[in-house]
């Protein structure tokens, strides 16, 4: 069966697990709790290799505060001061990282499974007007699909009843070595970007910075750990990489290549394509060994994320690509993870 019961939340809501499988033996498992991706299994001579961190039990996902595998919204990344102005009105958002807004809380929501056939699944939910402080009732649809070309596609759709800002992403933590090396510092990374956004001490973006000649230059692939300890104020603020990389844009709705990661031994890889204007590269700097899952301890730099997104704090930055969604419009963005093994 492609759909099974995963558990019951503390609020008494049933949570389903959906398994997507292709002809090559790739398996992606996800749950209706936060549309979380719980497992990505790639074939290997030793058996299925799970390339993301995660947990075995629903209760662990409910207690999680690190967005393991989660669909993130209503606004991925940070909004300065947890506030913005729109249409002459000020909106105060929930503050969940000091005085700022970070990611939101949709990862704690049980979504409705509308369709599931073993190749794709459609999740839906309604975020009420005023939820997290955002204007507009938001109808959200998340579609995951797995093709026989080993491409896992995530599509995000939304419609709103009032002008609002929106930014969705997925927050899976990847380790292509599946725990063999302890950290992902030997992984080879390439990011198709000439510039990052510099930040303040509390991670709010300031100005665009060209990556040439800096530790943030991944235009030619290199080990993640090569420059991670460099004497750089941004790296010191973050404790590693946690940066918005600005991507080269194609036509509206066109997938562009964003990044590629390869395990140190070269046996597994992931290529990322997206319609979104940026990608957040994060090296799990805040995992500290206090969390465990799937028989592993989540230590610092045990994994990395490649979170395709719009720019952080765009509601307060008219110079950034707009994240405004109006009634009558449809938000539709796509990200593809292409697996190699």
Average pLDDT per block of 10 residues along the chain, 341 residues long: 93 98 98 98 97 98 98 98 98 97 97 94 98 98 98 98 98 97 97 97 96 98 98 94 94 94 98 98 97 96 98 98 98 98 98
pLDDT tens-digit readout, 259-273: 999 999 999 999 999
The Cα 203–Cα 79 span in angstroms is 10
The DSSP call for residue 94 is: P
CA gyration radius, the chain: 19
131, 171, 187, 260: the active-site residue: 171
The two tokens of residue 279 are 């990608």
Overall pTM surpassing 0.95 (yes/no) = yes
CATH of domain 3-340: 2.70.98.10
Predicted pLDDT of residue 251: 86
107, 132, 260, 307: the active-site residue: 307
Domain residue ranges of the chain, discontinuous segments joined by +: 3-340
Backbone phi, then psi, for 60, in 5-degree steps? -70, -40
Mind giving me the DSSP string for 209-267? EE-TTSTT--SS-EETTSSTTSS-HHHHHHTS-EEEEEPPP-STT--EEEEEEE-TTSS
The residues, any chain, with a CB within 8 Å of residue 278's CB and separated by 6 or more, are 244, 245, 246, 247, 308, 309, 310, 311
Predicted pLDDT of residue 249: 85
Nearest to 266 by CA among 216, 305, 223: 223
The residues, any chain, with a CB within 8 Å of residue 222's CB and separated by 6 or more, are 188, 189
pLDDT tens-digit readout, 85-123: 999 999 999 999 999 999 999 999 999 999 899 999 999
CA-to-CA separations, 13 to 31, 54, 300, in angstroms, rounded = 13, 21, 33
Predicted pLDDT of residue 333: 98
Predicted pLDDT of residue 250: 82
Q: Catalytic residue at 171?
A: yes
Q: Which residue has 């595998």 as its token pair?
A: 69
Nearest to 20 by CA among 107, 106, 143, 108: 143
With b meaning 16 or more CB within 10 Å and e meaning fewer, what string describes 296-315?
Answer: bebeebbbbbbbbbbbbbbb
């Amino acid at each position: 069966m492609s759909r099974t019961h995963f558990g019951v939340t503390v609020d008494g809501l049933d949570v389903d697990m959906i398994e997507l499988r292709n002809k090559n033996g790739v398996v992606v498992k996800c749950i209706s709790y936060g549309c979380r991706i719980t497992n990505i299994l790639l074939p290997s001579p030793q058996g299925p290799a799970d390339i993301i961190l995660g947990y075995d039990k629903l209760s662990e996902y409910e207690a999680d505060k690190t967005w393991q595998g989660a669909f993130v919204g209503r606004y991925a990344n940070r909004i300065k001061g947890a506030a913005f102005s729109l249409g002459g009105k000020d909106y105060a958002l929930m503050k969940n990282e000091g005085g700022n807004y970070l990611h939101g809380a949709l990862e704690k929501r049980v979504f409705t499974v509308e369709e599931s056939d073993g190749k794709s699944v459609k999740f839906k939910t309604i975020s009420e007007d005023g939820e997290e402080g955002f204007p507009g009732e938001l109808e959200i649809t998340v579609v995951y699909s797995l093709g026989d070309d080993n491409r896992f596609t995530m599509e995000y759709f939304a419609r709103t009843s009032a002008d609002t800002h929106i930014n969705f992403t997925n927050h899976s933590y990847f380790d292509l070595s599946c725990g063999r090396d302890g950290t992902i510092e030997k992984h080879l990374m390439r990011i198709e970007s000439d510039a990052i956004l510099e930040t303040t001490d509390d991670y709010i973006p300031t100005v665009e910075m060209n990556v040439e000649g800096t530790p943030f230059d991944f235009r030619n692939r290199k080990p993640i750990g090569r420059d991670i300890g460099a004497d750089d104020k941004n790296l010191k603020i973050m404790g590693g990489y946690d940066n918005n990389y600005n991507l080269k844009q194609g036509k509206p709705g066109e997938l562009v290549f964003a990044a590629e990661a390869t395990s140190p031994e070269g046996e597994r890889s992931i290529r990322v394509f997206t319609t979104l204007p940026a990608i957040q590269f994060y090296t799990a700097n805040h995992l500290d060994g206090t969390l465990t899952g799937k028989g592993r301890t989540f230590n610092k730099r045990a994994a990395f994320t490649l979170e395709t997104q719009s720019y952080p704090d765009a509601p307060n930055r008219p110079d950034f690509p707009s994240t405004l969604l109006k009634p009558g419009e449809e938000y539709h963005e796509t990200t593809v993870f292409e697996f190699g093994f």
